[in-house]
Amino acid sequence: MMIQLLHAAFVYQSPDGEVEALRDVSFDVQEGEFCSIVGPSGCGKSTLLSALAGLERLSGGSLELDGEPVCGPSRKVGFMPQRDQLFEWRSIWGNVTLGLTVRGENTPQRQAHVRELLERYGLADFAQKRPSQLSGGMRQRCALIRTLAAQPKVLLLDEPFSALDYQTRLAVSADIYRIIRQEGKTALLVTHDISEAISLSDRVVVLSHRPAVVKSIHRLTQLQGVPPLQRRDHPAFAGYFKSIWKELEVHEG
Ligand SMILES: Nc1ncnc2c1ncn2[C@@H]1O[C@H](COP(=O)(O)OP(=O)(O)OP(=O)(O)O)[C@@H](O)[C@H]1O
């Protein structure tokens, strides 16, 4: 098991008192699985990602990553944020190797790996260009390669497509999905977009209103092996959408 959360609880200590963000969150993510988390605004999704990234320590329950308890940031975890956060003054090569440079890991082997990734995913000819010369989709791909450069086992994706317009978003999410699959990474995506969750995931975890508990887990068996864009036209799509939407709506109301 790559991620194992058991009765995870988290309480923020703020000047105004305690804020209970997570009450009882249990689920597993298998190696190589793509799992999404959806839930109402403010229910604790980012808190959960912070705990997985080792940035916040749970107040209760347990969290294991690749068989080991999480007690701080780990190299096994890579993070893809809401915006690509590329540095405009650095070249694409400078951006994708930045993390390696900062950590003192910019070895010939690591560089060869990054060069291979750029080639495999069509960015080799852009290595010396600036981020502003790339399309939104290529920038996201570049951000993903920067994350993959550290050779993480797990990718945490926090609404990585939310800054893109709808059309671009569909194409880019399918592209990012393909790369994550091809590289055999385990992925955990947080999104507000139910359609996006269904089009990308093996399973969707639905969280309740804060303090979060797991409302349900949907295994998208009928969509197994169907690529993201085709999933939206698949006869099973609407059924999954309806049941997830209903669960979110009941708690919003
Ligand atoms: N540092 C903090 N101190 C106190 N409360 C906090 C702190 N950070 C977050 N919270 C509260 O904890 C709850 C969960 O926040 P979190 O950001 O994890 O939710 P979310 O599901 O990611 O939200 P959104 O869907 O809006 O991105 C929210 O009610 C938030 O106001």
Asked if residue 43 has its Cβ within 6 Å of ligand 1, the reply is yes
Q: How far apart are CA 185 and CA 171, in angstroms?
A: 20
What pLDDT is attached to residue 163?
A: 82
Please give the distance, rounded to the nearest whole angstrom, from the Cα atom of residue 181 to the centre of ligand 1.
30
What pLDDT is attached to residue 252?
A: 44
Asked if residue 227 has its Cβ within 6 Å of ligand 1, the reply is no
Please give the distance, rounded to the nearest whole angstrom, from the Cα atom of residue 247 to the centre of ligand 1.
20
Q: How far apart are CA 190 and CA 46, in angstroms?
A: 8
Please give the distance, rounded to the nearest whole angstrom, from the Cα atom of residue 139 to the centre of ligand 1.
28
Asked if residue 47 has its Cβ within 6 Å of ligand 1, the reply is yes
Percent of the chain with pLDDT strictly greater than 90: 87
Asked if residue 13 has its Cβ within 6 Å of ligand 1, the reply is no
Domain ranges of the chain: 3-76+152-249
26-85: per-residue pLDDT in tens? Answer: 999 999 999 999 999 999 999 999 999 999 999 999 999 999 999 999 999 999 878 889
162-170: average pLDDT: 87
- Buried (b) or exposed (e) across 34-66, using 16+ Cβ within 10 A? bbbbbbbeebbbebbbbbbbbebebbebebebb
Q: Tokens 């780990």 sit at which residue?
A: 74
94-148: per-residue pLDDT in tens? Answer: 999 999 999 899 999 999 999 999 999 999 999 999 999 999 889 999 999 999 9
Q: Looking at this predicted complex, what is its ipTM?
A: 0.96
Paired tokens of 192: 């507000």
Helix and strand counts by DSSP (H, E) for the chain = 9, 10
How would you list the strands of the sheet with 17-29, edge to edge? Answer: 68-69, 60-65, 3-14, 17-29, 212-219, 203-207, 34-38, 186-190, 154-158, 77-80
- Predicted confidence band of residue 250 (pLDDT cuts 50, 70, 90): low
3-76+152-249, which class in CATH?
Answer: alpha beta
